[in-house]
Amino acid sequence: MAKKNNKNKAGRKLVFAFVVLLIIAFVAAAMYLSLPSGTVQNPAIITIINNIINNNIPSSTTITGAATTTVTTASAPGQTPTTVNTGTFQPSAVTLEIKSWGFNPNTVTLLKGSTATWTNKDSVTHTVTSAGNFDSGDIAAGASWTYTFNKAGTFEYSCKYHSSMTGKVVITE
């Protein structure tokens, strides 16, 4: 009889643990869904997610910088939640590849002051050229070029040697 009680206790503990985990998952989902629209808006991360959804995944992408985190709390049921901003958006750095005769990712969205580095993984020379904005000059195979975006706007660019190679950087304030 004692063995049966031990099995029942173990089973109840397992069910209890499962219920607790389920409650935590629901609370986390509810907290996420209750965040104000646009709370999570690190443009570089959103670009990566969009690239994954569109199956345009670069072999390496590096994002650095601090994102804004908003925490909403209520001390007791029925109280008005308090929203605390725990950080601010900071410029970031992103690494883009020049590979297979294209720019990958093809479009990135960053904050003003962010830095983009293009690395040429093709076997031929390419450029990153945006008329009137920036020009990398020749980027040899295996070499990289970095540019810091100090003004907001949309910067379309191409390779001056291979006009079918195009990309876009969107810089927000």
pLDDT tens for residues 100-157?
999 999 998 889 999 999 999 999 999 999 999 999 999 999 999 999 999 999 999 9
pLDDT tier for residue 13 given thresholds of 50, 70 and 90: confident
CATH 3.60.15.10 fits 43-172, yes or no: no
Q: Measured at the alpha carbon of residue 142, what is the angle toward residues 44 and 59, in degrees to the nearest 5?
A: 40
**Encoded amino acid at 76, one letter:** A
At 41, the pLDDT band (50, 70, 90 cuts) reads very low
Question: Would you place residue 11 in the very low, low, confident or very high pLDDT band (cuts 50, 70, 90)?
Answer: confident
Q: Any idea which residue has 């020749």 for tokens?
A: 138
pLDDT at residue 92, rounded to an integer: 84
CA 131 – CA 128 distance, rounded (Å): 10
Nearest to 101 by CA among 141, 130, 156: 141
What does pLDDT average to over the chain? 73
> Whole-model pTM?
0.52
State the distance between the two ends of the chain, measured CA to CA, in whole angstroms.
70
